[in-house]
Structure 1
Amino acid sequence: MGDNVVDRYRDWGVMYPGGNAVNVAVHARRRQASAAYVGVLGDDVAGRLLASSLAAEEVECTRVRTVSGPTAYAVVRHDRGERVFDHGDTGVSMFRLDADDLKYLSEFDAVHTGDCSGLEDQLEEIAGAAAYVSFDFSDRPPAYATPLLPFVDFATFSASGADDDQVERLVAWAHELGPATVLVTRGAEGAVLSDGSRRHSHRPPALDAVDTLGAGDAFIATALVEHLSGSGLERVLDAAAGHAARTCLTLGAFGHEVRDTLPPPPGRQEARILPFFAPTDRTPLHLEGQWASTPEEGA
């Protein structure tokens, strides 16, 4: 539920459907879960690509709206298989959930959203309507995560470059604020999953990645589906790592390549920067021990 984009591969002249919420829904469906997407698309070629791709992936779109205006996009370049976001535009993707949306959420076992969806001020309402809430905090700082964690059941953080001690403190801090389950992805160092009493670590399989775009979302989707199916921590991480690795062997977050026929994107200075490109609030969680203090002391 929430964000969608088309990922525009500037060097190759192609684009792919994507966005954290869309990717998680698609990859959950590929793991045999029933999945739906709630969000807003523009009435342009990019919006039609997203709509057709979701339909092809058998993701339910009952609560998807199409409105006049441009679909969100992200400009992507690559460095030896690693995706690097350049800039982007939120288009019409930011929206507010209405009463019918909230009622719809209650029909599902879990709802996933994240830091790119702009739904932070409705997270308490979401938690009241949904049976279970998954939230991707990426590498947002404590000041962002602290007020949201009490409304989250399954929290995901990105902490690439963090050492073992930093990850341990991050997990403990997150649990203290609410989530029963905490997932920390660490890039080449793998991932850690905790249920509050047990923790399990997993190293990623070695592979020559073609494109890492969407791998983290594939990991989250698989971990969430396995966890809700009752799998143990080791099985959850094994399955998630395997599915994410396979995602790295193809282009795009989940395929559906088309030629990029959208108008050339403006330069970075002219573009409306997507939330996850904003540099002012992206101090990584694991730096400077920010989350090591108690909630009363602040972070």
Structure 2
Amino acid sequence: MSHAIDRGRVATLGETMALVRSRDIGSLRHASDLALGIGGAESNVAIALSRLGVAASWLGRVGDDSLGERVLREIRAEGVEVCGIVDAGAPTGLMLKERPRATSTRVLYYRAGSAGSRLSPADLPGGWIEGVDLLHLTGITALLSESARECLSSAIDRARAAGVVVTFDINYRSSLADAATARPWLRDLAERADIVFGGPEEFELLYPGTDAAAACDRLLQQGPSEVVLKRGADGATTFLPTGAAPSPGFAVDVVDTVGAGDAFVAGYLSGVLDGSDAESRLRRANICGAMLCMTPGDWESSPTLREVDRFSIAEGDPVLR
């Protein structure tokens, strides 16, 4: 395990669930060999940051059950500071992953009424946000419940008042809300952030009738200082007031893409805290995302900085698509 160093602290909050995945290719209806783990966008980012040497803190609610204990233990074991609220009135959420084919993954969520969905502003301890350099949030939490949205809004207000950088990954989940319902909530949060991440469809969701690049430019005019467009294997582009900075992706043998976006975000944020330029941040982010795709699991193969360097040397030139 990589121990975090004092290079800038990051706080993040959201729901982490127990994760059950089939080890073999095929439907869960026939699976007999299953693996138990955990997964959640925000904790994935926190763990990936810790691997990269950045001190990270995660806050979330879990049920008073064995799965909740598993969530808190796993995150803590990765060197992340855990602020876990144990909720005796709701269960820990559950996600199932199956691989119908070798090149595809299907994720099923059982999170309605979960402990994680009951996040509220009252769960944010005094000084928890004010004591960090960067607060990272995602649109997943915004769609869990009204109280969770209020929690994000309160967190942003506190970060702004304290001069803490706010980063936001749109991370739209259609299973939580339809596009028309989610749009105003996600757009409001994105426009209040300093750095925003998203894929082409997510930026187009914010501003209907525009393509991804135009949507990123439009968002940049609403307040954020950086807008990062993620395109998976096709690389990524950072939109800045001074112009767009593209970076090519990497060709790898893909096993599971779930969690790759979170590893990408962690790689980028570690570069922000390092003071790296946009090109260097994107290259590290693309490497982290690519490496995460090469094994099963949402976060288990998030790399250390040494592994990022080794990958960069071994893989040679990135492949533009």
Give TM-score, length-normalised by structure 1. Answer: 0.77
Checking the alignment, whether the CA contact within 8 Å between 2:121 and 2:154 is kept in structure 1 is: no
Q: In structure 2, what residue type is equivalent to 1:240?
A: A
**58, 61, 83: which is aligned to 2:105?**
83
Question: Cα–Cα, structure 1 residues 195 and 101, in superposed 2: closer, same or farther, change >3 Å?
Answer: farther
Tell me the number of residue pairs that the alignment of Structure 1 and Structure 2 aligns: 254
Aligned to 1:216: 261
Q: For residues 47 and 238 of structure 1, do their structure 2 counterparts lie closer, same or farther at Cα, with a shift above 3 Å needed?
A: same
Quick one: structure 1 residues 16 and 160, their matched pair in 2 at CA, closer, same or farther if it must change by over 3 Å?
farther
The structural deviation recorded for 1:71 is: 0.8
Identity %: 24
Alignment partner of 1:153 is 2:194: yes
Is the CA contact 2:94–2:111 (under 8 Å) kept in the aligned structure 1?
Answer: yes
Q: Following superposition of structure 1 onto structure 2, how do residues 1-299 of structure 1 map, counting pairs within 5 Å?
A: 1-10=13-22, 11=28, 12-61=33-82, 63-68=83-88, 69-78=90-99, 79-90=101-112, 91-94=114-117, 95-98=119-122, 100-101=124-125, 103-118=127-142, 119-130=148-159, 131-139=164-172, 141=179, 142-159=183-200, 166-255=211-300
Q: What are the superposed Cα offsets for residues 12-43 of structure 1, whole Å, 9 maximum, x if unpaired?
A: 42232111111111111111000010111122
**For residues 161 and 151 of structure 1, do their structure 2 counterparts lie closer, same or farther at Cα, with a shift above 3 Å needed?**
closer
Separation (CA, whole Å) in 1 of partners of 2:69 and 2:288 = 27
For 2:202 and 2:139, the matched residues in 1 are separated by 20
Q: Is the 8 A contact 1:199 1:233 kept in 2?
A: no
Q: Deviations over 1:115-145 (max 9, x none)?
A: 1113333444222322011111124754333
**Which stretches in structure 2 are left out of the alignment for 5+ residues?**
1-12, 23-27, 143-147, 174-178, 205-209, 302-321
1:133 alignment partner AA: V
Deviation of 1:100 after TM superposition, in Å, equals 4.9
Does 191-200 or 19-28 show the bigger shift?
A: 191-200
Aligned CA-pair RMSD: 2.4
CA contact (8 A) 2:201 2:212 kept: no
Structure 1 residue aligned with 2:319: none
Name the structure where strand makes up a greater proportion of residues.
2
CA distance in 2, matches of 1:175, 1:162: 11
Distance 1:2 1:109 in 2: 18
| TM norm structure 2 | 0.72
Q: Deviations over 1:80-107 (max 9, x none)?
A: 3443223322421021132752531111
Determine helix, strand or coil for the equivalent of 1:101: coil
Contact 1:103 1:129 in 2 (8 A): no
